[in-house]
A and B are shown apart, each in its own frame.
Chain A
Amino acid sequence: MTGRAVRGGTLLAALALAAFLPAGISHFHSFQFAFVGIYFIAIVGLNVVTGYSGQISLGHGAFMAIGAYTTAILSHDHGVSVYWTIPIAGIVAGLIGFAFGFPALRLSGVYLALATFGLAIAIVLIAKNYAFTGGGGGKSLTLPSSPISGLSTNVWLYYLVWGTALLMLLLAWLLLRGSLGRSFRMVRDAPIAAVSYGVSLARYKTIAFGIAAAYAGVAGALLAISIAYVNPDTFPISLSILLLTGAVLGGLGSLTGMVFGALFIEFVPLYAEKINNQAPTVIYGFILLAVLFAMPYGAAGLLHQLGGRVRQLRPKATKDPRSE
């Protein structure tokens, strides 16, 4: 059995698990896993900009907000079906992200991180102060309801989110496996070499920002549909930091590791509160530290290490997946 077959098998098993998960868990847990899917989409996007092209973004939550408000405004004020708003939210957020990429070109490292952080702060103030967003009072959407009779709303949301997530994952894989992904990695690892090969740093950095923002926009749209309400408090600055935490824990540069990051974002704060509801943030911090110590390269790094051990036992070595 080759490594490729093993990974193909694992992927199939994961897909089967995702497809049949709602049958084995309560309706409420399906609802929670829908949120895992939303975070998953957002951090797959963040992974493009941070993991592949090597730029730190502390403002990813802002693009989720743009997507969520696009959905809320289109469906609340213009009566557009919420499902159509999902791709539109992705395009709107993607264009804004692409535009943001231009000034971001002049910055790098911590300076870029600060600029994106500023974006996360600004978006909250914009949403609070302009009438078209509904101000601090926000906007209500119609409660989600399952169009398929016999399927509960929570399970429907689960399939809607994970169906979208699968499409977005496939799209990311197609985009990153080819020359675009190679160029991103080159921009990240060897910018000087990239330039000398004729790879435009500016072009690829802005493209990466645009793609990342589009993913966040789709995630934001799904968030708005699931909670049926948006206001500025829905997108605190901590959301952007949470998403970056998820991407790092999942393993930067790996697409499938992001599932772990998304699970962490959704569930660990809840367990921290269960352990100690007086100081949940302290518990959360300790868990985060422990996880980082246990797997410094994220979930994907850990899997890679384990895979390496298994391969050592076998005579034929497979190639390093990171070089693929």
Chain B
Amino acid sequence: MRRKLFLVAALVVAAVAAMGAFAKSASDPGVTSRTVTLGGTFPLTGPASSYAPIPSGMAAYFSYANATRGPDHKRGAGGHQIIWKFYDDAYNPANTVQRTHQLVEQDHVFALVGGLGTEPQQAVRDYLNQQKVPQVFVSTGATTWGFDHAQYPYTFGWQPDYQAEGALYGRYIAKNDPNAKIGILYQHDDYGKDYVAGLYAGLGAKKDQVTISRSFEVTDASVLSQILDLKASGIDTFMIFATPSKTIATYATAAKVGWKPKNIYLNSVSGTQTFMAIAVKLAGAAEVDGTISAYYLKDPANPSWANDAGMQKYNAIMAKYLPTADPKNGLYLYGMAKAFDTVEALRNTGANLTRANFVHTLNNLNIKDNPFALPGVVTKTGKTKTGKIDAFPISQVHLIRFDGATQQWNPFGTTIDPRGK
């Protein structure tokens, strides 16, 4: 009898242990009941190291979230303390691949978040999708992230893509300035071509308004001949789709040849405060004044946000977790805004935090209250009318206009959604 009881007890123990083992194997790497581990690669050294503030801004927000109770009264992301590991890839895909393998295979991260650079992130996209590890909110605006989501279901972009931004300018011009004589100067690569394709799509029936289009190679020493062609064509609306250094050169060259078109549109990547200040220095405030661009986040360098609750939150987090950093650098805010959406998505996934459930949440995002984004900008994905998933999380933007005197960008008008969400 006693022996039998012992046997039964042993069986029960074994069964419970087996169930425990089963429950354990059901949870994905990087998640415990108390923690979730996230990772990312960024250029902390090398030619693109000016982007290094982004992961620090993310770290500051994750620390803040870990110490603060959310709307569910739990600290961290739904009760999971966030462990944030980021490594330097120096913008070299060979390093990105190695460091990403390290994060997945050695650090056992739950997901990769915010990885920076179109090419480095493309280099690990196949691997991460093969391993079924979410590659979330990559820090690049290439159109492929949203466009190829069906092929790479574990990969998600974040910011508005270049084509959408180009389309935005096109629609704005078609509506508000239908008789504009448009000239384009663009960088002759995928990046520049994405913008041009978007512009034509946005102009729609008005695309014949484009009277001249000139391109340059990244390696070209000067844009003088292109500027002279554009000036001679008599256009009044000038589209600049370039990277920062060539944008600055464009303003300086136009000023030198005494050309100031009535309207200038500039793609957002080149429009940060730092670059615009250099353009003002080289070309004069009058040349740069009135330039129109688009953005989706608040600008910490603009004093008009001083009384805004979101900006105050940003400054408080910066003061507490990154006291030696310059809070006016918008890249910290970019990182924080991205971390905010990450925490929301993790929290919304709920108690059963698995990679599959996280991806499901990411496919059905609707975050309306990001305190660091401009009013009206939402992070939204979901099924479209055609049944396909719209995987362009942020698509609303505000048009902004540059004031040469104060060297500030000021938003004007309402939010616009070039993807029509």
Contact = CB atoms under 8 A, between A and B. Distances in A.
Interface of A: 26-29, 31-32, 35, 125, 128-129, 135-138, 140, 143, 154, 223, 226-231, 233-234, 236, 238, 273, 277, 280-281
B219 A138 contact: no
A233 B130 contact: no
15 contacts: A28-B102, A31-B101, A32-B98, A129-B219, A135-B190, A136-B189, A138-B119, A223-B94, A228-B123, A228-B127, A229-B93, A229-B97, A233-B93, A234-B93, A273-B88
B44 A227 contact: no
A282 to B, nearest CB: 10
B87 A27 contact: no
B106 A26 contact: yes
A227 B94 contact: yes
Which one of A26, A35, A231, A238 has the highest number of Cβ atoms from chain B below 10 Å of its Cβ?
A231
Contacts of B218: 128, 136
Nearest to A232: B119
B88 A280 contact: yes
Contacts of A35: 98
B190 A136 contact: yes
Prevailing SS type, chain A contact patch = helix
A177 B62 CA distance: 59
A210 B122 CA distance: 33
Interface string B86-105: 01101111100110011001
B229 interface: no
B308 interface: no
B92 A236 contact: yes
Contacts of A143: 126-127, 130
Contacts of B105: 26-28, 31, 154
Contacts of B94: 223, 227, 234
B119 A231 contact: yes
B46 A236 contact: yes
B87 A273 contact: yes
The 10 closest A-B pairs by CB, nearest first: A229-B123, A28-B105, A227-B97, A28-B106, A234-B94, A231-B119, A234-B93, A143-B126, A229-B93, A227-B94
Nearest to A273: B88
A236 B45 CA distance: 13
B56 to A, nearest CB: 9
B92 A280 contact: no
A29 B98 CA distance: 10
A36 B97 CA distance: 15
Contacts of A29: 106
Given A129-B219, A277-B44, A137 B190 contact: yes
Given A143-B127, A277-B88, A136 B119 contact: yes
A316 B20 CA distance: 67
B217 interface: yes
Nearest to B103: A28
Interface string B109-145: 0000000001110110011001000000000000000
